[in-house]
Amino acid sequence: RECFSLSFYRWFFLAMACNDASTVCRTMFNLLFARNDLGLPLAQYGDIMSVNAVISFFLLIPMGFLVDRLHPLRTYIAGAMLVIAANLFGFFFVRDYITFFIVAILIAIVYVIQNASKLPMFVSLLPAASYGQFSSANAMVVSVFLIFANFGGGVFIDFLGYRYIFIWDLLFTTLGLIALLKVYRYWSRSGGRRGYVAPTVQNRPAVD
């Protein structure tokens, strides 16, 4: 009742579930796409992933300052928009080692933006007194979503091919972005960065 009766949190949980589901196909099939569709040897794939890990490590520190300055919700939304753009580019232009390397770096960068802002976004939006409860409710929704996404992602790629890992990511990130914009609209109307108070069933907002 407390976690699911307000539309604000339903939109928020849906956004998080869609964003977690968006990475399912890349997690499972990125290596197979590189090897089977692009013909990359394992050594080259490993080199690319290593570079991505190094880039992610060094980007996390400045991203912390950026998240604090802009607000984690805004940063996470910006990251989702960049994820969509990177996947569009990847679907149409990845053809060889160089283009795969470029897109892999772009995707690593945009996911650093989201990963750096995700936990601060939870802290800034969820009720402090019931933070664990709302986090658990979110985890329940995400877990159920991922059960179906893992099965559906396999069927999706089997039917369309490994290149469509980009389209899967794009579609679910777009759905998550739509839900996040609903969250952002309420957050802005409720005072935004300076005046926002997490809604509860006790202080149910009139706009809900």
H or E segment and range at residue 3? none
Instruction: Give the percent of the chain with pLDDT over 90.
Output: 83
Higher pLDDT: 138 or 190? It is 138
What's the CA gap between 98 and 165, in Å, rounded? 18
CA triple 34-112-21, angle to 5 deg: 65
* Residue 202 clears pLDDT 80, i.e. is over it: no
Q: Give percent above pLDDT 70 in the chain.
A: 97
Residue 125 pLDDT > 60, yes or no?
yes
Average predicted confidence (pLDDT) for the chain? 93
- Cα torsion 114, 32, 47, 89: sign: negative
Residue range 7-195 in CATH 2.130.10.10: no
pLDDT band at 120 (very low <50, low <70, confident <90, very high): very high
pLDDT tens per residue across span 34-69: 999 999 999 999 999 999 999 989 998 899 899 999
Q: State yes or no: pLDDT of 208 exceeds 60.
A: no
Contacts of 71 (CB under 8 A, 6+ apart): 124, 193
Q: Is the pLDDT of residue 180 over 60?
A: yes
Q: Which residues, including other chains, have CB under 8 Å from residue 157's CB and lie 6 or more apart?
A: 25, 28, 29, 164, 165, 168
pLDDT value of residue 203: 63
Q: What is the model's pLDDT at position 204?
A: 61
Per-residue confidence at 191, pLDDT binned at 50, 70, 90? confident
Of the candidates 193, 179, 64, 55, the one whose C-alpha atom is nearest the C-alpha of residue 117 is 64
Enter the pTM of the model: 0.92
